[in-house]
Amino acid sequence: MRYFGNDIKLFVNNLVVSYTDQGSDDAPVIIFIHGFPLNKTMWNYQVEALMGRFRVIAYDIRGHGDSDAGNDNFTIDLFATDLIQFMDGLKIEKASLCGLSMGGYIALNAIEHYPERFDALVLSDTNCQPDSAEVKEKRMKAIHNILENGVSNYADESIKNLFAQESFSTHEDEIISVKEMICNTSEESLGCTLLALAARNGTCNKLSGIDVPVLILVGEEDKITPPEVSTLMHEQIKDSTMYVIPHAAHLSNIEQPEEYNEQLMRFFAKVYKIPEVSYTEVSNSIFIQMREKVMMLLSINSI
């Protein structure tokens, strides 16, 4: 039996995983994988926009959001195994993945080891290269700083790099909610995930073997995983399309949700051969449905 909602729990790989599952049973499945150190709610705009046409699932990676941390050492391999066991638990044989940054590292790892489980990938603001020595050192310093100065301080420092300069005046609510996501992650999970990120293997030499359609999205001002890195991946992946999102940095899906969703809609309509409906049309149709419901309630109340 399938459960619908925004905080469903499933026991996977010896821990409880929290996830959102929306959309109709027989629609193609898209699984969203969040970035570090955020959680499934970073995909709220995408879940809302796509659930009318797809079954959309967003889950919390272990140690993030409302999922347990479990007892194993965090690695990107383990996160990819969690994903496959999560799909098994939900009886999903095949799905598309949309992963942002760390979510993209997991998606690339998963398609390398389980290519038969995926229809398509969206690689958003991510990278196939492993950490340089300099980045590894920064991660060690970050762990030290978290233990020394606390998570809130770490959140303030991280946020400076996640958003484009203009987003600080145009997306204040989103910035507050991203800070909350970071502050709700435990010191232990932050430290263990930073170690997992630093230890991950590169996947650039596997890109030419990817055999499904891939959409590469990146914020024009992304400094963590800049557009040049996306271009490099685009050149290696046979069936790939790349789109640079203006007025956005690393969290392009939150900074420019309409543009981001439009690209997702267009891509998945092509992958699953369904008539293309633009994001604006979907928003309008949701608006019309809501207006009809309100009119109906008003007419019932006036009887």
How many Å apart are CA 141 and CA 51, to the nearest integer? Answer: 40
In the complex, what is the shortest distance from the CB of residue 126 to ligand MLT, in angstroms, rounded to a whole number? 8
Nearer Cβ to ligand MLT (15/199)? 199
Using DSSP's 3-state secondary structure scheme, residue 31 falls into strand
Q: Are 37 and 139 in contact (CB under 8 A)?
A: no
Task: Considering the complex, state which of residue 79 and residue 268 has its C-beta at the smaller distance from ligand MLT.
Answer: 79
Q: Establish if 99 lies at the interface with ligand MLT (CB under 6 A).
A: no
Contact between 178 and ligand MLT per CB under 6 A: no
Contacting residue, 217, 224, 233, 249, with ligand MLT by CB under 6 A: 224
Least Å distance, CB 100 to ligand MLT, is 6
Can residue 197 be called a binding residue for ligand MLT (CB under 6 A)? yes
Q: Which is nearer to ligand MLT, 102 or 264 (CB)?
A: 102
193 part of the interface to ligand MLT, by CB under 6 A? no
Run of H or E including 291: helix 279-301
Strands (E), the chain: 5-12, 15-22, 29-33, 55-59, 95-100, 118-124, 214-219, 240-245
CB under 8 Å to 230, separation ≥6 — which residues?
A: 123, 125, 126, 216, 217, 218, 242, 244
104 is written with which tokens? 């993209």
79 belongs to the binding site for ligand MLT (CB under 6 A): no
| Vertex 255: Cα angle to 253 and 259 (nearest 5) | 60
Considering only residues 20 through 49, tell me which ones interact with ligand MLT, judged by CB under 6 A: 35-36
In the complex, least distance from residue 296 CB atom to ligand MLT, rounded to whole angstroms: 43
102 part of the interface to ligand MLT, by CB under 6 A: yes
Instruction: State the number of binding residues for ligand MLT (CB under 6 A).
Output: 6
Name the nearest CA neighbour of 184 among 147, 162, 154: 154
Structure tokens at 138: 């920064």
Residue 182 interacting with ligand MLT (CB under 6 A):
no
Q: Among residues 106 and 282, whose Cβ is nearest to ligand MLT?
A: 106
Q: Does 101 bind ligand MLT (CB under 6 A)?
A: yes
Give residues in contact with ligand MLT (CB under 6 A).
35-36, 101-102, 197, 224
